[in-house]
Amino acid sequence: MIEVARLADVGTMTVSRVLNSSVHVSAETARRVHEAIERLGYRPNEMARGLRGAKSKSIGLIVPSLTDPFFAICAHNVNAVAQSKGYSTIITTSNENPDTEFSEAEWMLQKHVEGLVLCPSVGRNSRFSDKIFQRIPIISFDRPLQGSRFSSVVVDNHVGAKLGTQHLIEHGHKRILFLGDRPDLFTIRTRHQGYRRALLDAGLKTGECLDCDSEDLVFKYVKTALAGKNPPTAFFSGNNRISRYLFRALRNLGVRVPTDIATVGFDDFDMADMMQPPLTVIRQPVEALGKTAAEALFNQFKAKAEDWPAKGSRITLKVELVLRSSCGCTQDAPKVIKP
Amino acid sequence: MIEVARLADVGTMTVSRVLNSSVHVSAETARRVHEAIERLGYRPNEMARGLRGAKSKSIGLIVPSLTDPFFAICAHNVNAVAQSKGYSTIITTSNENPDTEFSEAEWMLQKHVEGLVLCPSVGRNSRFSDKIFQRIPIISFDRPLQGSRFSSVVVDNHVGAKLGTQHLIEHGHKRILFLGDRPDLFTIRTRHQGYRRALLDAGLKTGECLDCDSEDLVFKYVKTALAGKNPPTAFFSGNNRISRYLFRALRNLGVRVPTDIATVGFDDFDMADMMQPPLTVIRQPVEALGKTAAEALFNQFKAKAEDWPAKGSRITLKVELVLRSSCGCTQDAPKVIKP
DNA sequence: CTGAAAGCGCTAACAG
DNA sequence: CTGTTAGCGCTTTCAG
């Protein structure tokens, strides 16, 4: 920077001002500075900028995994927003481990990210109330964060699951089972409640939220359930991973869908429409989830820390039922039902 | 830091030394420092550290998109390696736009990332030879980077495509068409060459690499090809996106696979085994691609800049043919063929 | 409109 | 083993 100043025959402050266009600089001087920058290929050191001004121009993003297309798409959209605002995204995965999540979050704070977007793992995430996390805005998505300070963006899990279950009931099903991977997850828990509500309202018997976190467990559980007396006639799967496991299990068991067993799953996924039969699902706005969360973060940047609401807000995005064939419907084009 | 030093009744240097365990500090002093750190909840400012020592403890990662599961999985594995080394990952997407890619890379350099892992977009990426990029290690994956300085990790595209095409030929197909999204992409181009090689070796006629970047184009192209005189009896699709588009097109056109048309695609994807019929694919080691690239980067960190090889190396990962049914094979379990 | 001085938080280099 | 000094590259503040 000193070299640029020397070459343009100005002070370093003038260079800084040209770079930040903070105060007006005479056109001629500005031109000389720009030329010098060009000639020297000078680029400001963001670390030094950050150190001085406490603005790192970066946000942190924590997701359980990028292997799951759901989170990958969310991450894509969070980054897209950050990019459009001239921010960089420091990303990391927690693998659903709250300890990893917490230490990664701390590490991001040390890097002075200006804000955090995360999909919190289940567990003691009350630690985010620590003093150090008071200084920056934090937005959670998909699952809310304990501690009311934080805003979150979620989808209408209860309504969606209820809608899907009701549809199964309309098809005449009376014994419907709910498959979830982790009953302690906010999303799964809320969807299970929606499922229960629908069944209860119809005067039917509800099932527990089955804890089948691996493909093997889904297989075993489904097999056991079907072999029992009074077997279910339909399954509701709690997320796209379980839906895929369920599809495999049913196929490998030689069960015909929807003739023998009908299914509805929460969360659409690529090629769900191309399965045999095409899968009926509750579609959630995955792109909007990431986008909205990031936008909420940048909105909070505008306000001063002392103006932050003591209670975080919650934004709930709408879902819809996409009728294909696994539920028992027969039609050429999928039909979309909004709650 | 000064506060910690004061509380522990030592100098700031001692605090620094305890933090970095660089020089030996007496056990008693260290204990007092740790206690002070604990009491004050002190965390070092990584920006200041970086400014002083030029070590940002972060790497940059540029992928075309996180919407594509292929890149998402690569990104996941790059980050996993970085995390294990105590580094953070600054991620960004280029959307296959070389200008975005370049400006994002420059931006990362200003942030003083210590290295860069990227899947380069097609275009004038010779700009990475700029002086500013000389100072840090850069590894590309999936596609090599112009300019021999850079190392890259790729898969055996030629061998894989040849193997898949040969398999189709063994099934008796004589008119096989190649579907790619962007013929200028290294991967697509090389796979097309492998396809040609197989056909040429068998004395059969080869087709151009069709440039169908959208689902619509795949549909139109397939429809046109099938309606022509002397229609193809098989398709080879250049990547998982095209494979999915092709599957949809064939289904919507009412074409039976593999009876009317056989297919083989490059790159396996989730649920490819659950399609009707299950898809025969060339499987590439996606996880290893990201992992290997990141590891290569960290290896280069160990060497001094002047020891970097003038010519980058190229690591080629093996692929395999996974025989399911879309090629015309009939078997219960998929069969894996290594070249 | 422009420049000089001071200092952000840390650590390399040198003393003690 | 521990403290002092200086300075990384920038911007805020205060003078011209």
Would you say residue A25 lies in a domain? yes
pLDDT of A125 above 70: no
| Among B100, B111, B245, the residue to mutate for chain A (most A Cβ within 10 A) | B111
**Residue A277: cis peptide before it, omega within 30 degrees of 0:** yes
Q: What is the CA B292 to C1' D9 distance in angstroms?
A: 35
3-class SS at B293?
Answer: helix
Would you say residue A49 lies in a domain? no
Burial profile B208-220: b = 16 or more Cβ within 10 angstroms, e = fewer: ebbebeeeebbbe
Put simply, the answer to whether B109 touches A73 (Cβ < 8 Å) is no
| Chain A positions in Cβ-Cβ contact with residue B69 (cut-off 8 Å) | 69, 72, 270
CB of residue B12 closer than 7 A to nucleic acid strand D?
yes
User: Do B238 and B303 sit in the same domain of this protein?
Assistant: no
User: Do A269 and A136 sit in the same domain of this protein?
Assistant: no
Report which residue type is found at A60.
G
Widest pairwise Cα distance in chain A = 90
| Chain B positions in Cβ-Cβ contact with residue A92 (cut-off 8 Å) | 79, 83, 88-89
Assigned token pair, B30: 């260290």
Would you say residue B269 lies in a domain? yes
How many whole angstroms separate alpha carbon A329 and alpha carbon A201? Answer: 22
Put simply, the answer to whether B110 touches A274 (Cβ < 8 Å) is no
Q: What range defines the domain where residue B33 resides?
A: 2-44
Partner B contacted by A20 (CB < 8 A): no
Asked if B257 and B326 touch (Cβ cutoff 8 Å), the reply is: yes
Would you say residue B73 lies in a domain? yes
Q: What is the pLDDT of residue A60?
A: 97
* Tens digits of residue pLDDT in B156-200: 999 999 999 999 999 999 999 999 999 999 999 999 999 999 999
- Give the domain CATH number at B110: 3.40.50.2300
Put simply, the answer to whether B111 touches A46 (Cβ < 8 Å) is yes
3-class SS at A269?
Answer: coil
> What is the pLDDT confidence band of residue A236, given thresholds at 50, 70 and 90?
very high
| Chain A positions in Cβ-Cβ contact with residue B19 (cut-off 8 Å) | none
User: Do B270 and B162 sit in the same domain of this protein?
Assistant: yes
| Among B42, B57, B63, B271, the residue to mutate for chain A (most A Cβ within 10 A) | B271
User: What's the average model confidence in pLDDT over A31-48?
Assistant: 90
Would you say residue B295 lies in a domain? yes
CB of residue B2 closer than 7 A to nucleic acid strand D?
no
Q: What is the pLDDT of residue B159?
A: 98
Q: What is the pLDDT of residue A75?
A: 98
Q: What is the pLDDT of residue A86?
A: 94
Which residue reads 């986008």 in tokens?
Answer: A291
Put simply, the answer to whether B104 touches A112 (Cβ < 8 Å) is no
* Tens digits of residue pLDDT in A155-193: 999 999 999 999 999 999 999 999 999 999 999 999 999
- Determine how many CB atoms are found less than 10 A away from the CB of residue A228: 9
Whats the size of chain B, residue-wise? 339
- Determine how many CB atoms are found less than 10 A away from the CB of residue A331: 10
User: Do B219 and B332 sit in the same domain of this protein?
Assistant: yes
Partner A contacted by B75 (CB < 8 A): yes
User: Do A92 and A219 sit in the same domain of this protein?
Assistant: no
Q: What is the CA A147 to C1' C7 distance in angstroms?
A: 37
Report which residue type is found at A47.
M
User: Do A108 and A190 sit in the same domain of this protein?
Assistant: no
User: Do A246 and A180 sit in the same domain of this protein?
Assistant: yes
- Determine how many CB atoms are found less than 10 A away from the CB of residue B107: 20
Question: If DSSP states are collapsed to H, E and C, what string results for B149-209?
Answer: CCEEEEECHHHHHHHHHHHHHHCCCCCEEEEECCCCCHHHHHHHHHHHHHHHHCCCCCCCE
Put simply, the answer to whether B90 touches A90 (Cβ < 8 Å) is yes
Q: Cα dihedral sign for A98, A101, A107, A108?
A: negative
CB of residue B147 closer than 7 A to nucleic acid strand C?
no
Residues 29-58 of A with CB under 8 A from B: 41, 43-48, 50-51, 56, 58
CB of residue B13 closer than 7 A to nucleic acid strand C?
yes
CB of residue A47 closer than 7 A to nucleic acid strand C?
no
φ and ψ at B203, to 5 degrees? 70, 25
Q: Which nucleotides of C are covered by protein (CB under 7 A)?
A: 1-5, 7-13
Burial profile B254-290: b = 16 or more Cβ within 10 angstroms, e = fewer: eeebbeebbbbbbbbbbbbbbbebbbbbbbbebebbb
CA atoms within 13 A on the CB side of A140: 26
Residues 172-231 of A with CB under 8 A from B: none
User: Do A13 and A115 sit in the same domain of this protein?
Assistant: no
The β-bridge partners of B90 are A90, B60
Partner B contacted by A108 (CB < 8 A): yes
User: What's the average model confidence in pLDDT over A41-52?
Assistant: 88
Q: Which of B156, B106, B107 is nearest to B132 (CA)?
A: B106
Put simply, the answer to whether A92 touches B83 (Cβ < 8 Å) is yes
Question: If DSSP states are collapsed to H, E and C, what string results for B7-42?
Answer: HHCCCHHHHHHHHHCCCCCCHHHHHHHHHHHHHHCC
Nearest neighbour of A90 by CB, restricted to B80, B88, B132 = B88
User: Do A253 and A174 sit in the same domain of this protein?
Assistant: yes
CB of residue A52 closer than 7 A to nucleic acid strand D?
yes
- Determine how many CB atoms are found less than 10 A away from the CB of residue A248: 17
The β-bridge partners of A88 are A58
Q: Cα dihedral sign for A28, A32, A37, A39?
A: positive
| Among A77, A83, A88, the residue to mutate for chain B (most B Cβ within 10 A) | A88
User: Do B89 and B27 sit in the same domain of this protein?
Assistant: no
* Tens digits of residue pLDDT in A240-299: 999 999 999 999 999 999 999 999 999 999 999 999 999 999 999 999 999 999 999 999
Asked if B112 and B45 touch (Cβ cutoff 8 Å), the reply is: no
User: Do A274 and A290 sit in the same domain of this protein?
Assistant: no
Report which residue type is found at A313.
S
Question: A57: alpha, beta or left, given left = phi > 0 and alpha = psi -120 to 50?
Answer: left
User: Do A168 and A39 sit in the same domain of this protein?
Assistant: no
Chain A window 56-115, residues with Cβ within 7 A of nucleic strand C: none
Q: What is the pLDDT of residue B54?
A: 67
Beta strands, E only, chain A: 58-63, 88-93, 116-118, 138-141, 151-155, 176-180, 209-211, 234-237, 262-266, 281-283, 314-317, 320-323, 335-337
User: What's the domain count of chain A?
Assistant: 3
pLDDT of A320 above 70: yes
Which residue reads 């992928």 in tokens?
Answer: B63
* Tens digits of residue pLDDT in A59-101: 999 999 999 999 999 999 999 999 999 999 999 999 999 999 9
pLDDT of A304 above 90: no
Kind and range of the H or E run holding B117: strand B116-118
CB of residue A6 closer than 7 A to nucleic acid strand D?
no
Would you say residue B49 lies in a domain? no
For chain B of 339 residues, list the mean pLDDT of each consecutive stretch of 10.
88 88 84 90 88 87 97 98 96 95 93 95 77 87 87 97 97 96 94 97 93 93 94 96 96 95 97 96 98 96 80 95 96 90
Q: What is the pLDDT of residue B190?
A: 97
- Give the domain CATH number at B39: 1.10.260.40
Q: Which of A326, A220, A213 is nearest to A268 (CA)?
A: A326
Would you say residue A143 lies in a domain? yes
Partner A contacted by B73 (CB < 8 A): yes
Would you say residue B179 lies in a domain? yes
Q: From B276, which residue of chain A is nearest by alpha-carbon distance? A: A276
